[in-house]
Amino acid sequence: MAVSQSGRSWRKFKQNRFGVMGGVLFIILILIAIFASYLAPNDPYRVNLRNRLSSYSREYPLGTDTMGRCVLSRLIFGSRVSVTVGFVVVGISIAIGGLIGIVAGYFGGIVDSLLMRLVDIVIAFPRFFLLLTVVAIFEPSIYNVMIILGVTGWTGEARIIRSLVLSIREQVYIEAARAVGASNERIMVRHILPSTVVVIVVMATLGIAGAIITEAALGFFGLGVPPPTPSWGNMLFEGRGVFRRAQWLVIFPGLAIFITVLGINFLGDGLRDALDPRHVLKKQ
Please check the confidence at residue 3 and state whether its pLDDT lies above 70.
no
The per-residue pLDDT for 74 is 92
3-state secondary structure of 64: strand
Task: For residue 65, tell me if it sits in a domain.
Answer: no
Question: What is the number of structural domains in the chain?
Answer: 1
Mean pLDDT, residues 121-144: 76
For the stretch 47-104, pLDDT in tens is 888 888 888 888 888 888 888 898 899 999 999 888 888 899 999 999 999 999 999 9
Q: 103 φ, ψ to 5°?
A: -65, -45
Domain range enclosing 240: 23-29+71-281
Q: pLDDT exceeding 90 applies to what percent of the chain? A: 13
How far is residue 195 CA from its own chain's centroid? 22
Per the domain annotation, does 181 fall within a domain?
Answer: yes
| C-alpha radius of gyration, the chain, whole number | 22
Closest Cα to residue 168, out of 190, 189, 196?
Answer: 196
Q: Is 65 left (phi over 0), alpha (psi -120 to 50) or beta?
A: beta
Residue 281: per-residue pLDDT: 34
Q: 242 lies in a domain? A: yes
Helix (H) and strand (E) counts for the chain? 15, 0
193 falls within a domain: yes
Separation between Cα atoms, residue 260 and residue 21, nearest integer Å = 11
Model pLDDT, residue 157: 87
Within a domain: 47? no
Output the domain CATH number for residue 258. Answer: 1.10.3720.10
Which range has the top average pLDDT, 109-118, 189-198, 237-246?
109-118
